[in-house]
Structure 1
Amino acid sequence: MGFFLTIEGCEGAGKTTAKGVVLQWLKAAGREFIETREPGGTPLAEELRNLVLSEHEEQVSDTSELLMVFAARCQNLTQRIEPALAEGKVVVCDRFTDATYAYQGGGRGIDEQRIAVLEQLVQGDRRPDMTLLLDVEPELGLARARGRALEQGGSLDRIEQEAIEFFHRVRNVYLQRAERFSGQYVVIDGSQSIAQVEEQILKALQARLGNSFE
């Protein structure tokens, strides 16, 4: 059977670094894997991602944003994630439904039950087998995100431009879910050095997956 591993965290938490560590570990373990992201992962889902993250002349309603996120997820699940899992591969996904509970639920204030209805419709019983949560104070994460945008000559996307209180709500929901689903989550202190973050991730991977890959 395949293994579904997701990487979660607020802006600037270090998800890209974490993904690199995970992929290198999987290569060393000789496991077949694919990587994907959300929103996104397929051509159509990437178009939806652009709609979610871009600024528009008209205001995007919270429910419209939620529906676009789940529409993209449905495509990613159908076209990439489920087929790879059926082939026994490891799927490494940058964000998944936990992000929806955090951003659209915590950040936007959408009722959790409304999200749960769409989750069941789109995913059925599919949940991540393991989630690495890169946790940092929002102030630090946003400073990193702004610095990255300046280095790359870009700008913050529509969601990255939200007020700091938005990201505090997002982080709080992430931490609540990590406590609630402790068997799924591993919380990584993303404020530490890259070497220290890498060490935490490798320990988590070995503890959760080491024996199953032998």
Structure 2
Amino acid sequence: MAGSFITFEGGEGAGKSTQIERLKSRLERLSHPVLVTREPGGSPRAEQIRSFILEGQAKQFGPFAEALLFAAARIDHLDKTIEPALRRGTHVLSDRFADSTRAYQGSLGNVDSGLIDGLERVALKGTRPDLTFILDLPAEVGLSRAGQRRASKGEGVDRFEQEDLSFHQSLRQAFLAIARSSPRRCAVINADRSADEVEEAVWAIIGERLPRLTTNPARPLDVA
């Protein structure tokens, strides 16, 4: 059986990486094979493109050029990492995917939605997440969290974190709009609370949408 593909989206500081690691741990405790990946990146060539984008070198070429670079990275990510894992029955958890391009470059960069649709058709080749979590919280809270994280790790501000507050407020609305347009795939989670509370909310959605992941695959449920 093919693995499930789950993505996590949201603004800066929403806690995506934390929740991905927590979900990974829960699934592994149930003996599910799990692969954690990220975008941009997730494969050697895609990681090279990631560095170019997040260092701000692509910004001078405009949002459409950034969207093209994200699509190029996504093609390699899918070919080399995501699709092979899904085929061998591994569940894939990705920190960002195509929705981020639609939100950042599409909604905020004003790249025509038809162009974004075309890039998705070429890059995804029919591969879509089974479930997407939109971790939602006020932009001010997310930026504060992101700043604290950077300070603790001694990291600098990347290409997108350096944008002003209005950018991040608009980004939040862009993700919520994506969730409204794809309610069967997307689940909005209130991320403005403790990590433990968010984790339980994520797990509850997993139980509703992908119940096979809440049981040990080596111990199938008895059929009456």
Question: Do Structure 1 and Structure 2 share a fold, with TM-score over 0.5?
Answer: yes
Q: CA deviation at 1:206?
A: 1.9
Amino acid at match of 1:40: G
Specify the SS of the correspondent of 1:174. Answer: helix
The residue number in structure 2 matching 1:209 is 210
Q: CA deviation at 1:58?
A: 7.7
CA offsets per residue over residues 20-61 of structure 1, 9 Å max, x none? 121012102211121110000011100100111103498232
The residue number in structure 2 matching 1:22 is 23
- Residues 108 and 166, structure 1, Cα contact 8 Å, conserved in 2: no
Specify the SS of the correspondent of 2:183. Answer: coil
Q: CA deviation at 1:124?
A: 1.9
The residue number in structure 2 matching 1:113 is 114
Q: Identity over aligned residues, as a percent?
A: 37
The residue number in structure 2 matching 1:2 is 3
Q: How many equivalent pairs are there?
A: 214
Amino acid at match of 2:17: T
Distance 1:83 1:172 in 2: 33
Distance 1:51 1:87 in 2: 31
Aligned: 1:60 with 2:61:
yes
**Pairing of 1:145-184 with structure 2 (within 5 A):** 145-184=146-185
CA offsets per residue over residues 101-141 of structure 1, 9 Å max, x none? 11111221211111110100111221100011110111110
CA offsets per residue over residues 140-190 of structure 1, 9 Å max, x none? 101111111112112110111011121122111211111111111111111
Change in 2 beyond 3 A, CA 1:118/1:56: closer
- Residues 107 and 170, structure 1, Cα contact 8 Å, conserved in 2: yes
Distance 1:87 1:57 in 2: 35
**Pairing of 1:56-205 with structure 2 (within 5 A):** 56=57, 59-205=60-206
Q: CA deviation at 1:209?
A: 2.1
Distance 1:178 1:143 in 2: 24
Distance 1:58 1:189 in 2: 31
Distance 1:6 1:184 in 2: 10
Gaps of 5+ in 1: none
Amino acid at match of 2:155: G
Distance 1:57 1:208 in 2: 38
Amino acid at match of 1:4: F
- Residues 23 and 199, structure 2, Cα contact 8 Å, conserved in 1: no
Specify the SS of the correspondent of 1:91. Answer: strand
Change in 2 beyond 3 A, CA 1:173/1:58: closer
Gaps of 5+ in 2: none
Specify the SS of the correspondent of 1:59. Answer: helix
* TM superposition outliers: structure 1 runs of 4+ over 4 Å: none
